[in-house]
Amino acid sequence: MEFSTTTTAVLHTLKTQALAVGVFQDGILSPAADALDQASGGALRSVIQSEFDAAPGNCLTLHAPAGIAASRVILLGLGAQDSLTSAILARAHEALAAYCVRAGVSTAVSTLCALECADADLTDRARTTARLVSAAIYRYDQTFSKAKPAVKLRSFALHLSRAQVAKARTGLDQGAAIGAGMNLARLLGDLPPNVCTPTYLGKTAKSLAKQFKTLKAEVLDQKKIEALNMGSFLSVARGSAEPPAFIVLRHTPSQAAARKAAPIVLVGKGITFDAGGISLKPGPGMDEMKFDMCGAASVLGTMRTVAELDLPREIIGIVPSCENLPSGTANKPGDIVTSMSGQTIEILNTDAEGRLILCDALTYAERFKPAAVIDVATLTGACVIALGHVNSGLFTRDDTLAADLLAASRQAQDPAWRMPLDEAYQDLLKSNFADMANIGGRPAGSVTAACFLSRFTGKYPWAHLDIAGTAWLEGKQKSATGRPVPLLAQYLLGQCLAEH
């Protein structure tokens, strides 16, 4: 996909297969729509008055309107003029991108980013647009006997004034990189679990390192994991014939001066299939447990974005990956395992396995002396009950880190909500036989899961993102979303800007 800008002064002479303009409710036209209406002798106003509801997300196509060089003019509803927000602009661009893909359009131009809104500058608006268009062209066809028809959309431009081009170009570059990272995360999530194994995730990390010179990949096998005394992680892995992989993907910026700051570490849960182990999950919907590695997928996708943008900060992605299956060698309720930190864990439920692999990865992260560690995991069904499929759950005791991540989530339109992490919840993890239990019972299940992880993060600022409700769509729409790549990428962009 090629993203660009155009500053053609006379809009009606612009040749493209689709030219998008905004329309407000009460018949108010955006400046671009008004210019096209004048060039067409009032054709736009006539149609708007007779058949177009300019509510946010609505669109209407005018084919070959007289006096306009574009093959189609796409009217995009923006709601009330005094209530325009970046979210409404994003919704309009989603509708535009979906139409272009559906209609087989190969070139498109949007005038909407030129419109000012109070909650997003031009760079933000351009970044979001490029990300949404990139997402629209994603197609999964890897395991079909016949490939799906290729998406024809190959060129998307923003119509702007000359003074706006530089900021928009920055946003487009960032958005395209974020979109590519999201689509990688979606692909990894969508692949079947007999393809996307821990070994496959390791190969993906190595492939990224070959593609981008700032990345270096290391994949530790079982013997090396054993040498690190990751007893908690390995206890989950031993239930499957698939070998585990511990992946470290490190971005070292090309600018030497940018390597001085302490690194930021991302940790992603990589359970490539979760049957629940001995604490077996119900059969209906178990196929969706291939998505239990979406935390890992989002970390790999974010690292792809980081490398493409060559962010001026050392960023490290860590992925502990294995399967969680029932077998004669699998964890049993009542087992006690020793983590890399030396702390012992009583396993009361083998389906609470994500925390068992993440805790060793969080201990491993200490060696990098990080400025911050953020783990990402489809960790608890309780988080879905609490927040549904809108917000990812954010847990941290660090108010500065929380504020930065929440600001990034709003800016990226990838929302998160801060959840409690009070010390009183820790009591629910008490065990009669080990330093802690791996579950705290049904009450506050997402909170006690985060409390468990917090016990391994005392040496650095840490945050946990529970994406169980946001990483994939269920049912007939079953597919990975690529979240929270936009949030993570926006956070890292913000940290890099703060340093420079």
What are the residue numbers of the active site? 281, 355
How many angstroms separate the Cα of 45 from the Cα of each of 28, 377, 500? 9, 50, 48
- How many of the other CB atoms lie within 10 Å of CB of 330? 22
- Distance CA(354)–CA(445), nearest Å, equals 13
Cβ distance 331 to 350 under 8 Å?
yes
Residue 177 token pair: 């990189």
Cβ distance 464 to 377 under 8 Å?
yes
Cβ distance 293 to 272 under 8 Å?
yes
- How many of the other CB atoms lie within 10 Å of CB of 10? 9
Torsion, Cα 220 225 228 234, to 10 degrees, reads: 150
Burial profile 153-182: b = 16 or more Cβ within 10 angstroms, e = fewer: beebbbbbeeebbebbbebbbbbbbbbbbb
Place of tokens 């209407």: 60
How many angstroms separate the Cα of 219 from the Cα of each of 202, 249, 339, 436? 6, 8, 20, 30
Task: Return the amino acid letter for 462.
Answer: W
Cβ distance 372 to 464 under 8 Å?
no
- Distance CA(53)–CA(21), nearest Å, equals 14
Backbone Cα Rg of the chain:
24
Residues 6 or more apart whose CB falls under 8 angstroms from that of 187 comprise: 138, 140, 142, 480
Strand-pair category, 18-23 with 344-346: unpaired
Strand-pair category, 436-437 with 344-346: parallel
Residue 97 token pair: 């991108």
Residues 6 or more apart whose CB falls under 8 angstroms from that of 373 comprise: 264, 265, 266, 267, 362, 365, 457, 460, 461, 462, 463
